[in-house]
A and B are shown apart, each in its own frame.
Chain A
């Protein structure tokens, strides 16, 4: 009862159902176009209205093209899904940030940057990467479409309370090692199911030192270890990030809010169901080699020989065209993708630009640079990063989920090798037959300018 997770969860308990789940109050529901239409249909067929429409924010992101957003979407099926969200939001009286509006972007990028996701909140969305918002010190988790409908209908959800886990990373990250590398390291240590059934609190010197962008990346990837969510206790970094944002409290309300937020931490004697401690010194820039995010290595290490054959390893290497014991440094790369709710924020573009500055894009690499939101795009231009990127031969596309899951036109062709800052390297995730290597923006930039897998530390 003394972890931060307990404090936030318990405060939101409406009732404990006998021999069943908890009825939990939800402060914020985000809806995108893919996982909401059937929930709205359900509401209509039951004759229900949204119980607290002011707590629900909608925006399309998965299907949006990353070019010519001022024109209608060419793919009629994508267009219909995006239009359906706009129509549903209007019918149910919900805020909607349409495609090409200045407020649009990937839902998990827009929520924090607008101050819609705040410390102490419970936040849900029909999307597993809702864990991202945990970086603000919130309990945030992905849900299915039936559950989206539950929240629309009642502002509540029925859930079993997960167990609690604390992951502490101590020490100081080395040069060229980012929050993405920390997350990829944790996934390899825990596997993709190691944190299933748990909510993770990230702590330790490394986490305290991370920027908000880094924290959002780390929490984003909690689901890839199986965790329902991950979060970080709010601190001065959080408050400084939130101050002045559109929906953050203002004036006297701000002072009151900060005073409350400062109480949001686990007690010194808090007991977690599981506690893990890692050392920053063991983490180098990371890449994946297989077909789930847990199949990862340090960039200078060989693919494990795995004499015992971890399940799925053989099929994964066959799909990727790699062999046990192989080193991937120097492997030719076809595509580079910078973006997604994992790494589509301003700091990610700064990191990418820091490597490509004064260099040129490798001739035969196709690079897609996709800001996470129009706000990120504006900041890229304000900081002059666009000039650096363009001089190096890169073009900035328009915001959306893009090649992370290839629901728009940004599909990696079959057989091509992509170095991607996104979150999943599942078979066919970036397009049927596409082969994905997950990496940080620095490692993606190093691949983009050299045309091969390259240790970014050599270019810093």
Chain B
């Protein structure tokens, strides 16, 4: 949902797995909803990893580990591959995450996060490895994500890294604006294009 972004400081939930696909983030059987209730999708985030096949809680999965909490999800390389389902971004937002840190994001999912005011922060492989280690050593490790300055800081090691985001999207996130507002405002340009390309 539309919310303004600035500086976020939080503890993290670590998911040191590579190639986490959107079928794992939210399995297909939860895509039948016709509304956008984020709490429903949030409740089923990583459903088949969170719960055993008999419906009991999988105590080994990180979301069920009381040591870890916070609004930053830290995940392995190639996060969000596979299906284009935006329900995956709704589940991440619905669970309460506002930032996902990884060393690589799948294209469509990255856009889906941005369109739901969840910030994908891409860091170097080396930075990610160190961050996982910091969180493992001390689950209370905090990370500061500073959107205005485009920096991410591991408070345990003090190490900062710059992250990329285009100026337009940064403006949207910081001001709670979305692309549809922009496109509707620019309809005259679309009409001009249509005239030229009849």
Interface residues of A (CB under 8 A from B): 11, 14-15, 17-21, 23, 25, 34-35, 37-38, 41-42, 46, 48, 51, 62-63, 77-78, 80-81, 84, 126-128, 130, 142-147, 149-150, 153-156, 158-160, 162, 192-193, 196-197, 223, 226, 228, 292, 311-312, 315, 405-407, 414, 424, 426-429, 432-433
Contact = CB atoms under 8 A, between A and B. Distances in A.
Interface size range of chain B in the complex: 35 or more
B28 A406 contact: yes
Interface string B83-97: 111110100000000
Contacts of B77: 193, 311
A406 B29 contact: yes
Given A193-B78, A196-B104, A154 B184 contact: yes
The residue among B108, B169, B189 with the most chain A CB atoms within 10 A of its own CB is B108
A153 B48 contact: no
A197 B111 CA distance: 12
Interface stretch (B17-25, B65-73, B142-150, B155-163): B17-25
Contacts of A429: 23, 28
A35 B78 contact: no
Contact of B116 (A18, A126, A146, A311): A146
Nearest to A80: B34
Secondary structure at the A interface, as helix, strand, loop or mixed, is loop
Contact of A407 (B29, B86, B111, B187): B29
Given A21-B168, A23-B183, A142-B84, A428 B111 contact: no
Given A11-B197, A128-B108, 9 more contacts: A15-B189, A23-B189, A34-B31, A35-B84, A38-B36, A142-B108, A146-B179, A226-B106, A424-B21
Contacts of B32: 34, 63, 77-78, 80-81, 407
B179 A128 contact: no
Contacts of B34: 37-38, 80-81, 84
Contacts of A428: 23-24, 27, 48
A51 to B, nearest CB: 7
A405 B184 CA distance: 35
Contacts of B194: 25
B35 A37 contact: yes
Contact of B183 (A18, A156, A160): A156
Contacts of A77: 32
12 contacts: A34-B32, A51-B190, A144-B108, A154-B190, A155-B190, A156-B183, A158-B179, A192-B78, A197-B107, A311-B19, A315-B17, A429-B23
A280 to B, nearest CB: 27
A143 B108 contact: yes
B86 A426 contact: no
B183 A144 contact: no
A62 to B, nearest CB: 8
Contacts of B36: 38, 41
Contact of A226 (B76, B78, B186): B78
A23 B183 CA distance: 8
B56 interface: no
A292 B81 CA distance: 10
Nearest to A429: B23
Nearest to B179: A158
Contacts of A20: 166-169
Given A14-B189, A15-B189, A196-B106, A311 B53 contact: no
Nearest to B16: A311
Contacts of B28: 62, 405-407, 429
B112 interface: yes
B116 A48 contact: no
The residue among B86, B115, B180 with the most chain A CB atoms within 10 A of its own CB is B180
A41 B35 contact: yes
A431 B81 CA distance: 19
Interface in B115-170: 115-116, 166-169
A35 B180 contact: no
A144 B168 contact: no
Cβ-closest 10 pairs across A and B: A20-B168, A19-B167, A144-B86, A154-B183, A146-B115, A311-B18, A144-B112, A142-B84, A37-B34, A145-B86
A51 B81 contact: no
A160 B106 contact: no
Nearest to B23: A426
Nearest to A34: B31
A226 B87 CA distance: 19
A347 B132 CA distance: 49
B60 to A, nearest CB: 12
Contacts of B78: 192-193, 196, 226
